[in-house]
A and B are shown apart, each in its own frame.
Chain A
Amino acid sequence: LAKTTQPISMDSYEGQEVNITCSHNNIATNDYITWYQQFPSQGPRFIIQGYKTKVTNEVASLFIPADRKSSTLSLPRVSLSDTAVYYCLVAGSGGSYIPTFGRGTSLIVHP
């Protein structure tokens, strides 16, 4: 069961790029890395998922080094509406899937 570690909080300003790193030293071969965003009193929302190297979609990029023991979520040009809690989830495929969340990172974007 991979355990994740993230910074508890981060501050940024509108228009800046934000990088949030998650450590998962015990990641297993069949584990995928998924990042979620959560606003208060809402369920988490999928941002991006990857297995290795780099993944990019319309809202974010995910960088995963070769050893896969960490991952970095990159949010380009954040806005006030990106203020939220961000979670990285490391979980495997098939029958070993137990989606346990870590503490998450509270990102505050300032004007």
Chain B
Amino acid sequence: KNEVEQSPQNLTAQEGEFITINCSYSVGISALHWLQQHPGGGIVSLFMLSSGKKKHGRLIATINIQEKHSSLHITASHPRDSAVYICAVRFGNDMRFGAGTRLTVKP
């Protein structure tokens, strides 16, 4: 069983919709990261969370340490948000990654 589980695996939305991507992990962590990988392959770090909630533009990330769960929300989604979103946690001495959520936002 993967230590980091993401859902959904694939998500298709219409422009303007509110998007939620979930991440659950099974071990104690020191930090959780949300990454965005564009179709060209480049990876951008969106958030690093150890508690609570962070907001950047239309993106909001929350984490519940007790429930070992994090969510990434996108408000007013746009086609340029189409990408793979990856959850990653610091686990022991290394980083473990979710399988990613492929988001497609249609105009």
A binds B: no
